[in-house]
Amino acid sequence: MTHPVFAILSAGGSSLEDTIELLSGAASTVAGEETSATAVVFGAAPRVDSACRAACAMFSRVRRVAHPVLEHPDAEMIRELCRRLLPPAAIVLMAHDPFGMDLGPGLAVHLGAVYLPDCLELDREGTGRMSAVRQVFGGQVNARVSADVTSGAVITVRPGAFTRPEPPVDVSREVDGPSVASGEGAGEGGSAQAGEKTRGVVPTAGVIEDWSSKVFREGVPGVGRRILSIREAGKGEVDITRSDVLVACGRGFESADDLELARELAEVMGADIACSRPLVDARWMEKTRQVGSSGQTVSPRVYLALGISGSFQHLAGIKGKPFLAAVNINRRAPIFQVADVGIVGDVLEVVPELTECFREGKG
C-alpha cells in the first residue's frame, strides 16, 4: 500500500522558508518514487497566499486552508482541521518546533497513527514500515527505531536535519498569479482565486488547491484556547543552520577575549562563528550559535572545530557530512576520530597561523 505523504505548515509560524525546505527534504525521503508529497498550508489571508506560493517552490501540490481564525498557529484548531482533510493511513510531517510539538502528539491520537517525534533521519522499509533515527535520553543516545506505519504516522523532524531535495523547482520566473486548481471555493479567509492577478515569484510546477470551504463546512472547530498575540524570540545576528562554512569554538579557549582570534580567522575564511555549549553557559556566546543536541543542527560544507573535544551531544548537531577539520591540544581528543584532518596544537598559536595562511592565500 502506498501511503499519501502530507507536510503541515502554518503561514503564521516563524522561519517558514526553512520549514518548507526541511519538510520537502523529509517528504522526498519518505514519499519514494511512486507518490509525491502534498503541503497543507493553514493561515489567514493574505499571509496564507504568500506561504502557499513559497510552498509551491518545493511541493508539486499545495492545499490552502484559509480563515481569519487561523491568523495565529493554533495547534488545537489545526488538529481538528487536519482530521477533516487528511485521508486514512497518511504519513504526516511537521517540524519539531513549538508548533509541531504542540500539534503532533494529539494529531497522532486523533488519526490512530504512530507518533515519531524529533527525527534526524527517515527511511522507508518496504510496505507498511518505516525506520527513523531519533535522539533519546536528552540527546545522549541516537536510537534507530522501526515503526509499523500501516495506520499512518505523524512525524516531527528536527530543524536542519533535512535539506532541499534535488532538483529544485525553478522559482526564478515571474508569473501573474498562483495556479488555483480545484476551486473548492475561497472559504471564509479566501483571497487568492483562480484568475486573480497576484504578481510575485511563483514556480511553474506547484498547484494550489483551495480546501477552505470544504474543511470549514462543518463550522469552525470549538477550541479551549485563545491566542491573543505571538511574540517572536530574538534570532541572533546569524542563522548558523544556513552557514556554508563554520568556525566552531570550544572550551579550549580560556577566555572570552581569546575568541577574537577565532573571529578574525572566520572573517578571512568567509565563515560564521559557532560554539559548543560551555561557551553559551559561560555567556561568552549567544545560544543561537550553539551546535548540538540542545542547540542548533547545522549542515555546512566545512566545519572547523577549535578546542572542541567532540562530545556526542556536540557532534549530534553536525549533519550532512561536512569536511571536518579540528584543532586540539590533546592528540587523543575524540574529535580526531571523526575529523577529516586534524592539527595537534594550542588554539592560541595555531589559529593566528591559520589566519595568516588564509590571508596570504587570498592575497
Ligand X SMILES: Cc1cc2nc3c(=O)[nH]c(=O)nc-3n(C[C@H](O)[C@H](O)[C@H](O)COP(=O)(O)OP(=O)(O)OC[C@H]3O[C@@H](n4cnc5c(N)ncnc54)[C@H](O)[C@@H]3O)c2cc1C
Q: Which residues bind ligand X (CB under 6 A)?
A: 138-139, 250-252, 276-278, 290-295, 307-309, 311, 313-314, 317, 327-330, 333, 346-348
The span from the CA of 240 to the CA of 223, in Å, is 37
The span from the CA of 321 to the CA of 127, in Å, is 29
Shortest distance (Å) from residue 133 CB to ligand X = 17
Shortest distance (Å) from residue 328 CB to ligand X = 4
Shortest distance (Å) from residue 98 CB to ligand X = 18
Nearer to ligand X, 73 or 307 (CB): 307
Q: Which amino acid is at 144?
A: R
Residue whose grid cell is 509560524:
13
Nearer to ligand X, 92 or 274 (CB): 274
Cβ-based neighbours of 116, under 8 Å, separated by 6 or more: 130, 132, 134, 145, 147, 153, 154, 155, 156
Nearer to ligand X, 90 or 306 (CB): 306
The span from the CA of 48 to the CA of 178, in Å, is 12
Nearer to ligand X, 241 or 328 (CB): 328
Shortest distance (Å) from residue 13 CB to ligand X = 23
The span from the CA of 7 to the CA of 115, in Å, is 15
Cβ-based neighbours of 43, under 8 Å, separated by 6 or more: 10, 11, 12, 51, 65, 66, 70, 71, 189
Shortest distance (Å) from residue 260 CB to ligand X = 15
Shortest distance (Å) from residue 21 CB to ligand X = 22
Nearer to ligand X, 60 or 294 (CB): 294
Shortest distance (Å) from residue 312 CB to ligand X = 8
Nearer to ligand X, 150 or 294 (CB): 294
Beta strand segments in the chain, E: 5-10, 38-43, 61-66, 91-95, 114-124, 129-136, 141-148, 153-157, 174-175, 200-201, 207-210, 245-249, 272-275, 302-306, 323-328, 341-344
3-state class of 352 per DSSP?
helix
* Cell numbers that stand for 177 in this block: 498569479
Nearest residue by C-beta to ligand X?
A: 292
Shortest distance (Å) from residue 342 CB to ligand X = 11
Dihedral sign (CA 225, 231, 236, 240): positive
Q: Which amino acid is at 165?
A: P
The span from the CA of 204 to the CA of 330, in Å, is 54
Nearer to ligand X, 202 or 279 (CB): 279
Nearer to ligand X, 10 or 355 (CB): 355
